[in-house]
Every structure is written in structure tokens, then in C-alpha cells.
Structure 1
Amino acid sequence: MNNRIWLSVCLLLLAACSDGPDRTSAPAQQGFAGLGLAADAFATVERGGELAFPQDHAAHPEFRIEWWYVTANLEDREGRQYGMQWTLFRQALTPDGGLGHWQDGQVWMAHVGLTAAAEHWHAERFGRSGGGQAGVTTEPDYRVWLDDWSLQSVTAPGSPERGDPLEHIRVQAGTDNLAFDLVLQTDQPLVLHGEDGFSLKSERGQASWYYSQPFYQVNGTLVLGDGAERNVHGTGWLDREWSSQPLAPEQTGWDWFSLQLPDNERLMLFRLREQDNPDSYFAGTHIRSDGSTRPLAPQEIRMQPLETTRVAGRQVPTVWHLEVPVINLDIEARPLNPNAWMDTSIPYWEGPIEFSGSHSGHGYLEMTGY
């Protein structure tokens, strides 16, 4: 690996997007994983802007940070439960796009994970846009990839033409000890979080552009460590987010939930933590079955850890009490596998959960900065 690529990878690890190191790994006053760094000459997220589709499914190289994030709660024919994660991160090293080809200024990192009740598998890759190793294309087909790990649009059977590229997608990845090939489809609209996609992350005004497709039905196959292929079905959730400074410098990590509620409703919640204030900022979105939304203000959300698990030498909260009184939600969430630790270059916890109480169902939990 030449010095430029090695430097690029090191910078990516300091400023990687949705996944990051424990709080001792980030320099003081730079926010979790460097996400509190000043935007400098990069584009900034400004209130009053407007997302446009399908254009905003593409990459945004003028912003420093961006990711494509897919999770799924799955079940095989014997009723065994699984969780799947596929993520691609883009990191811009320079706001001018670099010099082109292998010096194009964009570094990519991909993570995949599969979780079962007693085991968790994960893998990580790095790449550059130059030479076609990684990137995003919108024509003639929508495709997001790093090597042979890919997310791409497919035409629905019997459909004469394609609608939104994210309505029907195929997600694939494979390593020596895990593989999956899944088709996700929906006829529901995209969901914009915050104010028409403008998602605040602190009272100081740090923000990102953030939208989701939370209504996928999923079918496909998994191959786990034993090499056996399993047919699975379930539900999926895709997140898209980009920014140049999404966190305040003091914020050390976050706890993020995506919940599949009864009656085809959905709920996204997150808590951003500071070193001495775990409840520094809350936000969320209640998503009705028709795709309409109700943004949730910080004072409308309560998230309390109930139990911790010793994972990778640290205490991680894995059982939670969640309350959103304005929608009469009062639940307890538990993991399928409390040891769903992503021991990647920048480690974090990510895995499927189940919940019960006023509502019952399943979802996904991501926790960073522990």
C-alpha cells in the first residue's frame, strides 16, 4: 500500500461516518470519530434546502462524509432469527475532488455483519474510487459498491419500467465465513427525517441530510460460518445520510434505534451523548403506515439503559427502556445476541433487537463510542 493510500485510510478511520472508535480513540473536542471537526471548505448542511430524487440517491462529494446503510430482521424456514447489516461509507479527503483516478480524493469503507442468537460474524473492506474499485453510479442502473459487495436497483418482475431506484434493490456480500444475497422491495414512499430531511444533531446547529426507506420486505439467502445456505424472509430498513460536520465537538457517541411497530408503522430514535451528559440530545421520527411522518422533539423522547453486557472489554448497554408518550409508546428492547460487536478498525455494537410492552415487534440498534 503506498503512502498516499495509507494516509487516506488513517484519515478515514479518524473521521469515519456512522461507526467509530471508543471515546478514548478520538482527539478531544473533535466529536465522536472526528465527526465534530469543522466543515472547513466542504459544503455545509443548511436549513431550508430541499432533497430531490432520484438525484440525491447519488454521491455528494462536496460533503465530507456520507453513507448507505441497510439492516434487516430475518427468519429462516425453521423460525430461527437473524440480523443483517450492509454499509458503505464515503469520506472526502479534499473539498475539490482531488486529482482524479487513484488520487480522486474519495476513500471508501464497507462493513457487513450477520447476527444469530449465539453467533455474530462481521467483515470490513477499504477502497478507492479510482479504477472502479468502489463508487456510485445512477445510469443505466443505480449501483453502490466496493469490490463485489454491492447494492443495486433491479426491475420488479412484470414491471414495464423502473420507478424510484430504491423501490426494488438487491444487496450482496460474501467473505470466507459469511455471505448473503437479498432482494428488498417496497411500494411505500421514502421518509425524510427532521425538517424535510434536515436532521439536527445538536442544539448548536450541527446537522445532516437524512432520509430512509423503512418499509422493505426482504427475501433471499444467507450463508453462515457452517457453510449451509438458508432461505430467509423478513423486513429491511435503508438509511442515507451525508454531512460535513454532523456532531458537536463534545459529542462522544450515540444510541440509534429503528423499530418495526405493529400495523406497519415505524419509529426511528437516537440519543447523542456527551462525556458528562449521556442525554445531551434526542431526536426521532414516528412513521405512519402510509409513510407520513411526525418529527419528535428532544423532550418527547426518553431512553434509559436497563442492563449492560461486558463486550470486547467494555460495558455496553444492551437492554433499554424506551418511551415516547405522545404516541403512547412504552417498551423494553432486548438484543437477539448481546455480543453483536463489530470488531472493525473503528469498533461499535450493531445488531437486531426485539421489544415488548405497549407495542411489540423487532428492529435494530446501533451504539457507538463505548
Structure 2
Amino acid sequence: MNVRRIVASLLTATLLLVPPKAAIPQGFAGLGSTADSFAIPRPGGRLAFPADHGPHPDFRIEWWYATANLQAEDGTAFGVQWTLFRSALAPRTDSGWLDPQIWMGHAAITTKDKHFVAERLARGGVGQAGVAAEPFFAWIDDWEMKGLPHSGANQLDKVSLHATGKDFSYTLELSATGPLVLQGDQGYSVKSAEGQASYYYSQPFYEVSGSVDIDGKTVRVRGKAWLDREWSSQPLAKDQTGWEWFSLHLNSGEKVMAFRLRDARGGYTSANWISPEGKPTPLPVGSLQITPVRIARVGNKDIPVAWRVQIPARGFDVTSRPLNDQAWMATTTPYWEGPVTFEGSAKGLGYLEMTGY
């Protein structure tokens, strides 16, 4: 058995090999409402940059999560995902195989006809994966998200993304045109009526340039990207089994982050309205309404791939449509994630992630 299979077995055995936005019964990654000996997010905590771009090993789980809506010169649309996840068996770090930190990477490219997916697994303490806050560098094997020269005081104003997989690769440069955005209450993001929460911030103002390579053909692309950073130890309640999460770029320059966590009571919703200048307006719980409008057969599952998304207090009422119905992440724990467009009271594009189906 090679090292990768050993790591995969460890991850699966501990139920920690779960994307941060993928839930299973008994809460997110089996965590439920119990944090054990790990740290717990607290209201009133103050995020600090660039330190909080780095890892938080005293928390059970966190991620560095980038999605991009891209277009070639001929108008062909692409979606790109780059994600690094950290899960912990214990709230500490150590050297070599004694280190309890476990790392996983996901990368994808989506077109209207194809969806390419790759996954990487690593154990902490051996240099195969990790994150440094300053200068910023996140990596797993040869995949990397790296702060570039003149990346700004917070280290994320300008970054590069690179990943490879079977029949695909991409190399992109992301340049922020707006500030970091704190989600929830100054970065404290509640996830359930019982009060489970995470620390959560985003950089939704990236302009992107670079190239994607599919089946040996390289295409120059440009577009928009969104980075999410989140960490916690008990982010979901026991009866929350999945979610729908939207990151939306409005043609007006405004941004919307919105999610619904499904539970026995119909779901817990949260949304944040972000001005073109980067000022967030967190909306009250229940302000968001989402309704499926089209179901597609994805593999052997029926998945709601098109949605009506409403925020009545903002006069926001749009219908999202996927670039590709079959944007299924066939990873160790599978989920749906892909680029969308939307129209109605506003027009634009973004990304949708759905778990628990």
C-alpha cells in the first residue's frame, strides 16, 4: 500500500475526509455540536491580517476556497475551483507522522460540455502540504495558491493559482479591486439556530487573467474570482445534513453571499449584501428564500441545479442556471459545485455549491 492510500485510509476512517461545505448525517463531518478539546469561535472575536490567512491548528477544520468565472476571447465560458482543506485529529501540530493535521485539495474546471475533477491527499508534518501566512503560500504537492510581489499588506491582494489533473490544468493570476469582506458579525458567522458558528471572511473582488489547458489545448481567459476563508470546530447542528451556498457577482458591481443549511425545520439561512466599494450588510436570519426550479439527473441522483433566489428586503429575485448540469465533484466525499449565471431583478454570474444530495 503506497503513502497516498495510507493517507486516504486514515482520512476515511476518521470521517475527516469531507469538504468543508459537504455535510453528512449527524452534522458536518460528523462533528455535530461537540467541539471536544478544540477551540470554538466566539462572538466579538477580532480577525487579524495577515495572520488569519494562515492555519489555525487549535480548530478542527478550515479551508482556503477559490472559485472563478472565466471567459475566453471567443466567449467560451469556464468555471475553475481551487480548494485546500485542513482537518485535525487533535488541536496541535507536530513533526513528521506524529502531526495530527490532515490536508486535502480539490481542483476542477467546468465547461458547458465537460467537468474535470482532481483530488490530492496529504498528512501534515512532512512538508507535502501546508499554509504560511506571510509571505502567503498555500500548497499541496505541486498545486499552489501563492501571494505575488506587491500582494499588499494583507498578503491576498494579488495571488496566483495553479493546479493540474487528468487532462486539465490552469494557471491564473488574481488581483483584488476591493477589500476583504467579513461575513456574519465582523467575521463570526452563525450556522444554526442552536448557535454553531465559524470564523468566515471572503475576498469577492478578484479580477482574473491566465490560462486553462483542457485535453492539451491552452486557452487564455479572463474573469472574476471569489475566495472564502473559514475555520471552526463544531460548525453545524446534528440534524443539518447539507446546504446550498451561492457566491454571486452582480453586473452592478454588488456581491451577494447566501446559504441555506438544510435541517428538520426547513433550513437555516444567511446572506450578506456587499456594496461595489466592499461595505457588507449582513441580512437578518430568514431574509433569504431559495426554491428549486429544475431538477437534473446527475449520475444516479436527482439534483436541483437551477434555483430561484429571493431577498425580498432588497427587491432581489433572480433565477440561477448552471453552465453544466453535470458539475459533480466525484471526490472521496462527493458534492455538486459549478459556475452559474442568473437573471431577473439583477443579472450576473457566480458559483453554486450543494452538499448532502
Alignment TM class, shorter chain as reference: over 0.9
Matched AA of 2:237: A
Q: Residues 221 and 12 (structure 1 numbering): CA distance in 2 closer, same or farther, change over 3 Å?
A: farther
Matched AA of 2:176: T
Could you tell me which residue of structure 2 aligns to residue 115 of structure 1?
110
Q: Residues 48 and 19 (structure 1 numbering): CA distance in 2 closer, same or farther, change over 3 Å?
A: closer
**Selected match of 2:145 from 142, 145, 151:** 151
What SS does the aligned partner of 1:107 have?
strand
CA distance in 1, matches of 2:14, 2:177: 36
The 8 Å contact of residues 62 and 87 in structure 2, kept in 1 or not, is answered as yes
The runs of 5 or more residues in structure 2 that have no matched partner are none
In the TM superposition, residue 13 of structure 1 has moved relative to its aligned partner by 4.3
**Selected match of 2:181 from 181, 191, 195:** 191
In the TM superposition, residue 16 of structure 1 has moved relative to its aligned partner by 2.4
CA distance in 2, matches of 1:213, 1:183: 14
CA distance in 2, matches of 1:17, 1:175: 18
Could you tell me which residue of structure 1 aligns to residue 237 of structure 2?
248
Could you tell me which residue of structure 2 aligns to residue 223 of structure 1?
213
Matched AA of 1:169: V
Could you tell me which residue of structure 2 aligns to residue 95 of structure 1?
91
The 8 Å contact of residues 136 and 145 in structure 1, kept in 2 or not, is answered as yes
> 5 Å matches for 1:322-333?
322-333=309-320
In percent, how many aligned pairs have the same letter?
46
In the TM superposition, residue 188 of structure 1 has moved relative to its aligned partner by 1.3
The 8 Å contact of residues 32 and 369 in structure 1, kept in 2 or not, is answered as no
Using the size of structure 1 for normalisation, the TM-score is 0.92
CA distance in 1, matches of 2:41, 2:298: 35
**Selected match of 1:20 from 1, 19, 22:** 22
Q: Residues 368 and 6 (structure 1 numbering): CA distance in 2 closer, same or farther, change over 3 Å?
A: closer
CA distance in 1, matches of 2:14, 2:47: 26
Could you tell me which residue of structure 1 aligns to residue 297 of structure 2?
310
CA distance in 1, matches of 2:28, 2:300: 19
In the TM superposition, residue 299 of structure 1 has moved relative to its aligned partner by 2.1
**Selected match of 1:105 from 100, 106, 117:** 100
Q: Residues 359 and 163 (structure 1 numbering): CA distance in 2 closer, same or farther, change over 3 Å?
A: same
The runs of 5 or more residues in structure 1 that have no matched partner are none
Could you tell me which residue of structure 2 aligns to residue 53 of structure 1?
49
What SS does the aligned partner of 1:10 have?
helix
Matched AA of 2:247: S
Compute the RMSD of aligned alpha carbons: 1.7
In the TM superposition, residue 311 of structure 1 has moved relative to its aligned partner by 0.7
Could you tell me which residue of structure 2 aligns to residue 133 of structure 1?
128
What SS does the aligned partner of 2:307 have?
strand
Matched AA of 1:110: G
The 8 Å contact of residues 242 and 262 in structure 2, kept in 1 or not, is answered as yes
In the TM superposition, residue 346 of structure 1 has moved relative to its aligned partner by 0.3
In the TM superposition, residue 187 of structure 1 has moved relative to its aligned partner by 3.5
In the TM superposition, residue 137 of structure 1 has moved relative to its aligned partner by 1.4
CA distance in 1, matches of 2:102, 2:30: 16
The 8 Å contact of residues 198 and 210 in structure 1, kept in 2 or not, is answered as yes
> 5 Å matches for 1:203-242?
203-224=193-214, 226-242=215-231
What SS does the aligned partner of 1:130 have?
coil
Could you tell me which residue of structure 2 aligns to residue 289 of structure 1?
276
In the TM superposition, residue 12 of structure 1 has moved relative to its aligned partner by 5.5
